[in-house]
């Protein structure tokens, strides 16, 4: 038996007037998702525990079977692992976004958060800007590392406690002053953020971006600090050899921390535009190599949600359906393989608010050996809510998925 988990990051949503009061999932053409919902087990799962922020690290830890209240140490240390940065006990990892702030001569506090992703800046451009910031702004014991696109990392030796941060994707279109860190401990972080604007706003990379009509990546934004995490081995927990297929360092870091392989996939960007087919092929390649389990993470719906782009989110969902779910089902059927599928978002990223929420998300478990008959169901939030299946503790979903069926 092969086990495949497909995560459409942020795929769940609220009904939208523009779509006739349907969600993007309801509106999208998803024949393969609907097929497994009609022949599998459809329900809702609470991936983010009460009292915890609905971030991807929390939700994906839960989906993989790790209680976030026990194992979550912050997303940045997991991203460090994904980047190959080994943290020492005295080091803190902090996410360093390259964000786009308004550029109208106002003070730093009066600037507006235009884009948390700087128009999904390329890896190469981001690397140049991060290396400039590291060279000119970082002091001894501080080191910036380039990551994927806007997602970069600060590693800080013996860092002061930093708790009054704001997630940049939560304040899109807002003046940043009320959301800047204010405590004395946070002063080193705020100083670098302010200095980074002076360094980056007229950097040659950003001058060229502006000439192309792209937003400038003109400031660092620090958030989500944490220490080195430790997870029990996924193989020891489940007996399964597995791999994680994903573009972003956070997901790759969770995989590495759990002892799962994390092959790099050419063309996987972590953005709205990514190579879905390459991810699907990478997953089936891992199964062909003898892996029992693959965990496929697709960031695109989440990024489209943050941007408030309805059409792009619908397209992302349809691409996951056809180019990942459909491809994998066709390949495994052609090879005569028995398999189980688990499909779900990690959390909602509603278009209307352009940020994460912690409502339960729809999941479906499908077994090629034990097809059921639910012809009236489709893979939507409303259909999942109509079923009686609800898993309150998200970290119990993995055991539910892996259990043998009668």
For 162, the token pair is 């930093």
Instruction: Report how far residue 270's alpha carbon sits from residue 316's, in angstroms, rounded to the nearest whole number.
Output: 12
Tell me, what's the pLDDT at 40?
97
Instruction: Report how far residue 52's alpha carbon sits from residue 326's, in angstroms, rounded to the nearest whole number.
Output: 34
| Predicted TM-score of the model (pTM) | 0.87
CA-based nearest residue to 122, from 270, 241, 251:
270
pLDDT in tens, 275-303: 999 999 999 999 999 999 999 999 999 99
Tell me, what's the pLDDT at 406?
55
pLDDT in tens, 208-262: 999 999 999 999 999 999 998 889 999 999 999 999 999 999 999 999 999 999 9
Instruction: Report how far residue 303's alpha carbon sits from residue 130's, in angstroms, rounded to the nearest whole number.
Output: 21
Contact 25, 380 (CB under 8 A): yes
pLDDT in tens, 2-59: 999 999 999 999 999 999 999 999 999 999 999 999 999 999 999 999 999 999 999 9
Instruction: Report how far residue 362's alpha carbon sits from residue 7's, in angstroms, rounded to the nearest whole number.
Output: 11
Helix (H, G, I), strand (E, B) or coil at 37: helix
pLDDT in tens, 144-163: 999 999 999 999 999 999 99
Q: At what angle do helices 123-137 and 187-200 cross, to 10 degrees?
A: 120
Residue with tokens 């329900």: 43
């Amino acid at each position: 038996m092969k086990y495949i988990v497909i995560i459409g990051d942020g795929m769940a949503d609220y009904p939208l007037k523009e779509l006739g009061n349907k969600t993007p999932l309801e509106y999208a053409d998803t024949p393969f998702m609907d097929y497994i919902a009609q022949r599998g087990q459809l329900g809702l799962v609470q991936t983010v525990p009460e009292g915890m922020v609905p971030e991807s690290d929390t939700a994906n830890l839960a989906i993989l079977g790790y209680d976030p209240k026990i194992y979550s140490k912050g997303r940045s240390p997991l991203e460090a692992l994904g980047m190959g940065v080994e943290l020492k006990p005295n080091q803190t990892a902090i996410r360093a976004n390259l964000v786009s702030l308004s550029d109208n001569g106002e003070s730093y506090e009066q600037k507006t958060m235009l884009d948390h992703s700087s128009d999904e800046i390329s890896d190469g451009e981001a690397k140049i800007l991060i290396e400039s910031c590291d060279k000119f702004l970082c002091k001894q014991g501080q080191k910036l590392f380039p990551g994927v696109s806007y997602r970069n990392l600060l590693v800080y030796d013996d860092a002061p406690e930093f708790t009054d941060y704001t997630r940049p994707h939560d304040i899109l279109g807002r003046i940043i002053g009320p959301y800047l860190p204010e405590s004395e401990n946070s002063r080193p972080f705020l100083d670098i953020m302010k200095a980074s604007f002076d360094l980056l706003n007229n950097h040659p990379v950003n001058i060229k971006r502006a000439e192309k009509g792209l937003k400038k990546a003109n400031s660092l934004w620090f958030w989500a600090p944490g220490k080195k995490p430790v997870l029990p081995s996924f193989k020891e927990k489940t007996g399964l050899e597995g791999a994680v297929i994903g573009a972003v360092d956070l997901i790759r870091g969770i995989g590495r921390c759990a002892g799962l392989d994390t092959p790099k996939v050419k063309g996987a960007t972590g953005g709205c535009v990514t190579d879905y087919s390459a991810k699907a092929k990478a997953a089936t390649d891992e199964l062909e190599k003898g892996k029992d389990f693959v965990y496929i993470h697709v960031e695109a719906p989440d990024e489209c949600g943050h941007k408030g782009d309805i059409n792009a989110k619908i397209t992302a969902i349809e691409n996951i359906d056809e180019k990942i779910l459909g491809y994998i089902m066709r390949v495994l059927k052609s090879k005569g393989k028995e398999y189980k599928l688990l499909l779900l978002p990690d959390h909602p990223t509603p278009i209307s608010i352009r940020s994460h929420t912690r409502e339960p998300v729809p999941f479906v478990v499908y077994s090629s050996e034990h097809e059921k008959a639910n012809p009236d169901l489709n893979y939507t939030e409303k259909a999942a809510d109509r079923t009686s299946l609800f898993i309150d503790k998200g970290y119990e979903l993995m055991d539910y998925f892996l259990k043998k069926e009668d």
